[in-house]
Chain A
Amino acid sequence: MAVTETLPRNDGIAPTTYHVKAGGQGAALDIRDFNLWYGETQALFENSLEIQKGMVTAMIGPSGCGKSTLLRSLNRMNDLVDGLRISGQIMVDDFDIYGRGVDVIALRKRMGMVFQKPNPFAMSIYDNVTYPLRVDGVTKKSILDDTVERALRSAALWDEAKDRLKESALGMSGGQQQRLCIARAVASDPEVLLMDEPCSALDPIATAKIENLISDLRGQYTIVIVTHSMSQAARVSDNTAFMYLGRIIEYGATETIFTNPKVARTNDYVTGRFG
């Protein structure tokens, strides 16, 4: 896609415009001048973004613009890609997560992640939810039991799943599976929840459930959600970042982005004139 297209600097793409919604408790994640290359191809250009603690931040933009790439940079899932290079910083509590001596596993434990397609493990529901704890060395039954109930409740799945905890997770519907993945993501009580188009494989009813869930979780977790649905971004998020060709074009309070964007291209995108 178009990331490789070279763009003249002053075509309205840069500089990035910020007008973040007030009332945040400071930055949970501070992305500073972040560039990323897949081999020779640059996928992210000078991204800077402060993700507000306890809020829901949506990332929107045409497909291939780098939303997933940026999201996956936050918990270093991109490390798996061969030939990946980055520059810039992503700060968590004054720690650069790409700095030297960072424990990637500890970092990922602080961030739950939910993927585009539900990916429960081929285990029981119970084992799925407790997986993050078990790999952390927790074996005490009472702790695991409590976690399962708490996590499934926060994922609004407890009532449906409480009688079949020992059954395979693969027997659940797609929407249930995705909520199970959310339960798994919150099981180790992370600070940040990263969601990459969590509803794209789901039907409207399941989507509505997940959206309600996100609203419920707002405040408890810092949530970053990538979505291709602008209505979804409008419904669930406090702040929205609009990305285009690897750049963050505009970042601000969601109402502003959708009703009164400062950049013409954002306006074109949210009004459906391109994308």
Chain B
Amino acid sequence: MSALHEQQIPASGAAGLAGVAARDAAGGRRVRRFSADLSAVGEPALWAFGGALALGIILIAGFLAMIAWNGFSTFWPKPIERVELTSGEVLAGVATRGGPYRPGESTLAQLDDETRAAIAANDGFASRTLYQTANFDLYGDDFRWVSDFEVADITRPEDFFYIERQQWGVFIGRIVSLVVDGEQVEITPDRLSREQRAARQRFTEIRGLERGDIGGINHLIERERLAIRRAEIRLGEDSPEAQAAIAEAQARIAELQAEFQTLQQRVNAIRAEDRTTRITFAEVNGQQVETELSQVVRFFPANALSLPDKIGIYLSRWWEFVSAEPREANTQGGVLPAIFGTVAMTLLMVVFVAPFGVITALYLREYAKQGRVTSIVRISVNNLAGVPSIVYGVFGLGFFAYAMGGTIDQLFYPEALPNPTFGKGGILWASLTLALLTVPVVIVASEEALQAVPRSMREGSLACGASKWQTIRYIVLPKALPGIMTGMILAMARGAGEVAPLMLVGVVKLAPALPVDGFAPFIHLDRSFMHLGFHIFDVGFQSRNSEAGKPMVFVTTVLLLALIITMNATAIYVRNRLKRKYASGEF
């Protein structure tokens, strides 16, 4: 473009003088071309385009590499360092990151002359390291900065363990004693891991009973309570029918409560047993902490690991991450509920957006009379794609959750009021909001796909005596389907990665239950849910200890990207299969 201008401006300037614009301009160019030598000069514009493309690719690749590096290295076990400071203080921790910093006046004032001179020589910069000292229950903090000039000595003692706990996060220190069934036993690595596995089994059993069985009973009791309320509302509080229904429900509640008691007793029994197997740790300065062994999720001597040990720990951490629930305010443990929520919400969104977008596009392209109105509709649809997503969130909350959900509650769930059932954020409203957000993408892509179906195909079908709908159904839609699928894929990618509107319409930090479970009606569209995108935000920026959450941000990002890529790859695979299927006509 710019090269063209440069050539034309002097030429047309000369033409203006001569007064015969077009011919002279051409003539001027021709003279220049003949006077040029024959060596290739290349196309400056092409270099600019190529450069821009390369820059874009480098940026994206760098971004992905950073996420991947941080994400994939997080779970790798790192050594524990015992650090002796010049002040005589001793600490133990895992070095997480470090770098230069500029010590403040007061810090400098306390240093000896030699160190101060060294720092001054380095433009006032010293370097420091962030240690994960863990032991939050003892120290009130998980991390500590240590400046290099403070350090007297660093060792890596082999008897230090990195202990991941169910509560209070990580403990770093030695294992002092092990009590099994109330009796002190000798600590051998073998015995320790055997007892820990048994203890974890008890823990899982307790959790299973509490969450599954007892949770189920609570659910049923709640349902009976609602049945009582419903009977009161529908039949009149004092009517004999209501009284009968209430009596019946209360009898059932009594039964359930009895069941509840037995289960609770079982839980208590296991708990009591569990309490007799205990472990005691000591941190680097000898301060001790005692806890049930079942609280220990994973432990390893970080400085005495072989490579296979490390790989094993690495994989077991990944497995926990994708298969378990979060613990420690989401900074530890897994993200299974968030994975589930993300996938369920995205799929539900596709279910809503697909028919809506395709039907709209079909009408616009095939049936509506092309003219001013369709142009306005098209422009509006395109502009919808540019509305900030948070606006959709506000709309979703106001319209879907409060207006529609509120009405549904009044009509169908009056017994639960004033507690909202659908009248609050939930997975249904979130998917509808996202469907609204992504529908322009689907409409535009579908319209383009429909438009791309050759006229000769439609004419061929119509000439066979097919009606317009038959032509669309048998010829146009199959041919446009891959293009429509491409639109769906784009919509899915956009929807799965969207966070802002979800925060208003149903995403929560920690969902008590998944939207799908074993209780009728099995799919609970009114429930709030967890989402990987929100999880990243929450863990990285909202938790009590954002330093502890930081690595999880990258890991979760890796997972979210992997999830979106997987969903898209699946959709692309389906699309390509469809393409082939329709090309070979086996339907």
Residues on A lying within 8 angstroms of B by beta carbon are 75, 77, 80, 82, 105-106, 108-109, 111-113, 115, 117, 119-124, 127-128, 131-132, 135-136, 166-170, 181, 184-185, 188
CB pair A135–B470 under 8 Å, yes or no, is: yes
Contact (Cβ within 8 A) B465 A132? yes
Q: CA–CA, A87 to B461, complex, Å?
A: 27
B586 CB–A CB distance under 8 Å: yes
A115 near B583 with CB under 8 A, answer no
Cβ of B72 within 8 Å of any chain A Cβ, yes or no, is no
Stretch in B45-53, B160-168, B408-416, B474-482 touching the partner: B474-482
Counting CB contacts under 8 A, is B287 at the interface?
Answer: no
Where the two chains meet, the residues of B that have a C-beta atom closer than 8 Å to any C-beta of A are: 370, 454, 456-467, 470, 474-475, 478-479, 582-587
The chain A residue sitting closest to B582, CB to CB, is: A122
- Of A75, A106, A120, A122, the contact of B463 (CB 8 Å cutoff): A75
Check A188/B479 contact, CB under 8 A, given A80-B459, A119-B459. Answer: no
Kindly list chain B residues whose C-beta atoms are within 8 Å of the C-beta of A119: 454, 456-457, 459-460
Chain A residues near B475: list those with CB within 8 A: 121
* A106 interface neighbour in B462, B465, B466, Cβ under 8 Å: B465
Query: CA–CA, A128 to B583, complex, Å?
Result: 13
| Selected A-B contacts with CB under 8 Å, 8 pairs | A111-B463, A113-B459, A115-B463, A117-B456, A119-B459, A122-B479, A123-B582, A168-B583
- Chain B residue, CB-CB nearest to A121: B475
- Extra A-B contacts (6), CB below 8 Å, given A132-B466, A135-B474: A109-B465, A113-B463, A119-B457, A122-B582, A135-B466, A185-B463
Min Cβ gap A102→B in Å is 14
Q: How far is the CB of B451 from chain A (nearest CB, A)?
A: 15
CB distance from A105 to the nearest CB of B (A): 5
Q: Cα distance A166–B465 when bound, in Å?
A: 23
Q: Complex Cα distance A113/B461, Å? A: 10
Complexed CA–CA distance, A109 and B465 (Å): 5
Q: Which residues of A contact B467 (CB under 8 A)?
A: 105, 135
Instruction: Report the minimum CB–CB distance from A142 to chain B (whole Å).
Output: 21
Of B454, B462, B464, B585, the residue contacting A80 (CB under 8 A) is B462
A266 to chain B, nearest CB (A): 30
How far is the CB of A187 from the nearest CB of chain B, in Å?
8
Determine how close the nearest CB of chain A comes to the CB of B267; give it in whole angstroms.
Answer: 63
Is there an interface contact between A124 and B464, defined as CB atoms closer than 8 Å? Answer: no
Contacts of A170 in B (CB 8 A): 583, 585
Closest Cβ–Cβ distance, residue A3 to chain B (whole Å): 21
Which of B457, B460, B479, B585 has a CB less than 8 Å from the CB of A127? B585
Q: Which residues of A contact B587 (CB under 8 A)?
A: 123
B460 engages A168 (CB within 8 Å): no
- What residues of A have a CB within 8 angstroms of the CB of B462 in the complex? 77, 80, 108
Q: Which residues of A contact B470 (CB under 8 A)?
A: 135
| Beta-carbon nearest neighbor of B579 in chain A | A122
- Nearest Cβ on chain B to A189's Cβ, whole angstroms: 12
Bound state CA distance, A167 and B466, in angstroms?
Answer: 23
> Are B463 and A112 touching (Cβ within 8 A)?
yes
Establish whether residues A131 and B585, one from each chain, have CB atoms under 8 Å apart when the complex forms: no
Q: Which residues of A contact B582 (CB under 8 A)?
A: 122-123
Q: Which of B457, B462, B582 has the most CB of A within 10 A?
A: B462
State A105–B460 Cα separation when bound (angstroms). Answer: 13
Interface centre among A113, A128, A169, A185 (most CB of B within 10 A): A113
- Bound-state Cα–Cα, A181 to B587, Å: 20
CB distance from B318 to the nearest CB of A (A): 45
Q: Which one of A80, A108, A123 contacts B465 once the chains associate, using CB atoms below 8 Å? A: A108
A6 to B478, CA, bound (A): 46
> Please, which residues of chain B bring their CB within 8 A of the CB of A109?
464-465
Q: How far is it, in angstroms, between the C-alpha of A1 and the C-alpha of B253 when the chains are bound?
A: 88
Q: Is the CB of B586 within 8 A of A131?
A: no
In the complex, what residue of chain B is closest to A122 when comparing beta carbons?
A: B582
Task: Known contacts A121-B457, A122-B479; decide if A167 and B464 are in contact (CB<8 Å).
Answer: no
Inter-chain contact B584/A184, CB cutoff 8 Å? no
B464 contacts across to A, CB distance below 8 A:
108-109, 112, 131-132, 135, 184-185, 188
A33 to B454, CA, bound (A): 33
Closest CB of chain A to B24's CB: distance in Å? 34
Of chain B, the residue at the smallest CB distance from A107 is: B465
CA distance A124 to B582 in the complex (A): 9
Say whether, besides A106-B465, A135-B464, A136-B465, A115 and B456 are in contact (CB < 8 Å). yes
Residues in chain A near residue B458, CB distance under 8 A: 80
- Closest CB in chain A relative to B578 CB, distance in Å: 11
> How far apart are the CA atoms of A106 and B465 in the complex, in Å?
7
Q: Could you tell me if B463 and A121 are in contact, using CB atoms closer than 8 angstroms?
A: no
Q: Which of B460, B474, B478, B584 contacts A115 (CB 8 A)?
A: B460
A166–B467 Cα distance when bound, in Å, is 25
Q: Are B465 and A188 in contact (CB under 8 A)?
A: yes
Q: Is the CB of B584 within 8 A of A168?
A: yes
Q: With contacts A75-B463, A108-B462, A131-B464 known, is A122 near B456, CB below 8 A?
A: no
Residues B459 and A122 in contact, CB atoms below 8 Å apart: no
- Closest CB-CB distance, A54 to chain B, in whole Å? 21
The smallest beta-carbon distance between B587 and chain A, in angstroms, is 8
**Could you tell me the distance between the alpha carbons of A111 and B463 in the complex, rounded to whole angstroms?**
8
| B459 cross-chain contacts in A, Cβ below 8 A | 77, 80, 113, 115, 119
Compute how far the CA of A135 lies from the CA of B464 in the bound complex, rounded to whole angstroms. Answer: 8
List chain B residues, Cβ under 8 A from A115: 456, 459-460, 463
Bound CA–CA A80/B475 (angstroms): 17
Contact of A131 (CB < 8 Å), options: B456, B466, B584: B466
